Copies of this chain bind each other. A is one copy, B any other.
Amino acid sequence: MSQEFFTKHRATLEQAIETTRRRDYWSPYPEIPSGKIYGESAAAVGQAAFESWLHKRFELQQPGTVAEIGDEVSPYGFALGVRYPQPDFDQLLPAMQAALPAWRDAGAEARAGVCLEILARLNKRSFELGQAVMHTTGQGFVMAFQAGATHAQDRGLEAIAYAYEAMSRIPPHSRWVKSQGKHDPLCMDKTFYVVPRGLALLIGVSTFPTWNGYPGLFASLVTGNPVVVKPHPAAVLPLALTVQVAQEVLAEAGFDPWLVALAPDSRAAPVTKELAQRPEIRLIDYTGGTAFGNWLEEHCRQAQLYTEKAGVNSVIIDSTDNLQGLVGNLAFSLSLYSGQMCTTPQNIYVPSGGIETDQGRLGCDELAQAIAEGITGLLADAERAAELLGAIQSEDTIRRTAEAAQLGEVVLASEPRAHPRFSDARVRTPLLLKVAAASSDCYDREWFGPIAFVVATESTDESIDRARGSALAHGAITWSVYAVEAAVLERTQRAALEAGVALSCNLTDGVYVNQSAAFSDFHATGANPAANACLCDVAFVANRFRVVQTRRHAA
């Protein structure tokens, strides 16, 4: 069966591998939530499927269940009421270890077949997953469908592609023949086995549980490692559905379904520290705050650790020949999902003397005002604003936004918004502040959420220096630069190389600095404190398996 899955999805896999090398546009999972693509009833079926999970016990095929747990509340204002099975690790982990040899021995093709079938089935359930992501993360539905379902599937496939290629580089057998001059040659037959590290742990994040989770999940699984999925307690359902689909496919293919298992917890009684330090856990993928990421690095030395932590993203504005495009693009970037993305810009560095534009010279204050007006205009339509802003995932972010309003001159205040359909939704518009670069270092740390600073500097060179210093000290995942002169772009780019940050230049059209496209954009670099790894590259997969060889004299 797993071989059938491999045959069925082989062309997709090969195309994925090829695209990671070309890095142009491709996706096998259509991102448009359209009935024409997914079937006319898909939206309704997905909505109903999502609702069918609410206020019930969620069943999974895994041993060691000793309790039920779950207290998710939609950022749109209602309790989900799903109760998930909570395992006893002393029962679950040995069962997962016992499942490992058959999964290891099945080989890379069989494992890839199973993983690709899981993704294909997840894709069919994209409307349901979109609802689950929307009502745990607060993303608007279209974004949840895209980032939470189809783009996450892309990122999962990308990881499988890298891992499959890396495993395929190892020949199963070789014959080694060394000439001995007049004597018979030495001949050895060698066999090479791909072996997994052990159990893998995925620690999910509340804002992008699938998009940030699938790369590690599938990279570990396809290389032979059973995966314990520990979701953020506020965003369990998207990963629980993922585990359910994975278990269904694994069982169909004749493997123990608990090769992928769920380990939910609560804020009140977190299990991540205990789990992450278990000696059975040999791989950990983590997305989340810096403090806990640092704790993992400090304490979980038995495991290979892949982290995406926090960062401070910068925009450097020197000049533009398309002011309207700049403003519209930035306004969108700052509004999208209320800034709750690890790629959202935070600090917008502008020379205090202003900038040259196609509409004449613009003062720093005028530019800040133009961006504020751009945001206001973008969010004028209630329906559009609701979809674009989504809801605020965490009360902490609400508090942080209120706190941040004290940090500088408020150019645009963050305000609550009524949602057209969810009366209790936690919606906030972006806060835009202005500060003088030298007056404070308040902006030189992450302010996660709908919080951005226009930072007035002496010059563009100071802007670049501050952005670089901030990235090296605190991490950064994205930079954006607006400049007309090639020399300024070049200087910014050299700083980006030193700071290890992906740079977008002069974005004025329908691509935003927040967006990172699978197969083409490397997400994070692993070269500054924001992340120790990249989604996705060879390094992300190559150390999830090892090679053990045998050799003997050839017959």
Give A contacts to B, CB under 8 Å: 21-25, 101, 104, 166, 169, 171, 174-178, 180, 186, 188, 190, 192-193, 195, 197, 297, 301, 493-494, 496-497, 500-511, 517, 520-522, 525-527, 534, 537-539, 542-543, 546-553
Contacts and interface: CB of A to CB of B under 8 A. Distances in A.
A216 to B, nearest CB: 16
A517 to B, nearest CB: 7
Contacts of A297: 301
Contacts of A500: 195, 546, 548
17 contacts: A23-B192, A24-B177, A25-B177, A104-B497, A195-B525, A496-B550, A502-B551, A503-B549, A504-B552, A505-B552, A506-B553, A509-B553, A521-B551, A522-B547, A525-B546, A539-B539, A539-B542
Contacts of A553: 506-509, 511
**Secondary structure dominating the interface of A:** mixed
B171 A550 contact: no
A549 B190 CA distance: 40
A493 B497 CA distance: 46
A547 B21 CA distance: 13
B538 A525 contact: no
A25 B190 CA distance: 11
B506 A176 contact: no
Copies in the complex: 2
Contact of A548 (B171, B180, B501): B501
A538 B166 contact: yes
A520 B517 CA distance: 37
A548 B497 contact: yes
B22 A550 contact: no
A162 to B, nearest CB: 9
A448 to B, nearest CB: 24
A174 B497 contact: no
A186 B520 contact: no
Contacts of A522: 192, 547, 549
A542 B192 CA distance: 20
B539 A497 contact: no
Nearest to A543: B539
Given A169-B538, A543-B543, 17 more contacts: A23-B171, A24-B174, A24-B175, A101-B494, A176-B517, A178-B517, A186-B509, A188-B511, A190-B521, A195-B527, A493-B550, A502-B548, A507-B552, A511-B553, A525-B548, A526-B546, A537-B542
A224 to B, nearest CB: 11
A190 B24 CA distance: 9
B548 A527 contact: yes
Contacts of A508: 553
Nearest to A191: B493
Nearest to A301: B297
A514 to B, nearest CB: 13
B25 A176 contact: yes
Nearest to A171: B23
Contacts of A496: 548, 550
A521 B552 CA distance: 12
B505 A551 contact: yes
Given A497-B193, A527-B197, A546-B534, A176 B520 contact: yes
A525 B197 CA distance: 11
A82 to B, nearest CB: 35
Contacts of A521: 190, 549, 551
B550 A525 contact: no
A439 to B, nearest CB: 29
Nearest to A322: B553
A59 B39 CA distance: 75
Contact of A534 (B169, B501, B539, B547): B547
Residue in A175, A197, A527 with the greatest tally of chain B CB atoms within 10 Å = A527
Contact of A502 (B171, B494, B526, B549): B549
B180 A510 contact: yes
Contact of A550 (B503, B511, B517, B534): B503
A147 to B, nearest CB: 15
A175 B177 CA distance: 45
Nearest to A496: B548
A171 B22 contact: yes
* Residue of A178, A493, A537, A550 ringed by the most chain B CB atoms within 10 A: A550
A195 B525 CA distance: 10
Contacts of A104: 497
Contacts of A550: 493, 496, 502-505
A228 to B, nearest CB: 20
Contacts of A21: 169, 171
